[in-house]
């Protein structure tokens, strides 16, 4: 859980994410940079990682970026308010929700299975959008 309850570094909204100035500074980001949120596994839990990446979403002047789709759904399972921590030049996010997925593999299996059932035109190449 958030060890700094008075500080929220990232807020997940319906179709976008809002970053605190502290997180923008931690990333050394400026408006126009592309922000990406991916996932990794640390021990027994799924951990979101935020970085500047050419495949990401453009950061606006008001510290927001568009964020929707499957990655948003997976991140939303981990919370709506996130605390950022930088360790060894990697910035991880800790959410205020209870994790539904305990592994990257489980998250991919869940979303791949659901998408195939709901959308028979689903292409496995869309998994590249997950950045797992």
Q: Say what the pLDDT of residue 3 is.
A: 53
Q: Please name the helix (run of DSSP H) or strand (run of DSSP E) that holds residue 86, with its range, or none.
A: strand 81-87
* pTM, 2 dp: 0.72
48-74 per-position pLDDT tens digit: 999 999 989 999 999 999 998 888 888
3-31 per-position pLDDT tens digit: 555 568 999 999 999 999 999 999 999 99
Q: What percent of the chain has pLDDT over 70?
A: 68
40-49 per-position pLDDT tens digit: 877 777 889 9
Please spell the DSSP secondary structure of 89-120, one letter per residue. TEEEEEESSPPS-SSHHHHHHHHHHHHHHH-T
pLDDT class of 125 with cuts at 50, 70, 90: very low
- The pLDDT mean for the chain works out to 78
Task: Count CA atoms closer than 13 A to 104's CA, side-chain side.
Answer: 13
Q: Say what the pLDDT of residue 116 is.
A: 38
Q: What percent of the chain has pLDDT over 90?
A: 46
> Which range among 19-23, 66-70, 87-91, 108-112 shows the weakest confidence by mean pLDDT?
108-112
Alpha-carbon gap, residue 78 to 57, rounded angstroms: 20
Q: Above 50 in pLDDT, residue 105?
A: yes
Q: Say what the pLDDT of residue 106 is.
A: 67
């Amino acid at each position: 859980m958030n060890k700094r309850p008075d500080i929220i570094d990232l807020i997940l909204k319906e179709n976008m994410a809002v970053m605190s100035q502290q997180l923008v500074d931690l990333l050394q980001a400026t408006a126009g940079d592309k922000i990406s949120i991916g996932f990794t596994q640390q021990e027994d839990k799924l951990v979101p990682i935020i970085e500047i990446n050419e495949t990401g979403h453009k950061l606006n002047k008001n510290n927001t970026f568009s964020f929707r789709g499957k990655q948003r759904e997976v991140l939303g399972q981990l919370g709506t308010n996130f605390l950022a921590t930088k360790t060894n030049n990697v910035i991880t996010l800790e959410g205020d929700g209870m994790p539904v997925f305990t592994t990257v593999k489980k998250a991919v299996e869940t979303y791949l299975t659901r998408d195939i059932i709901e959308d028979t035109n689903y292409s496995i190449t869309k998994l590249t959008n997950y950045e797992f």
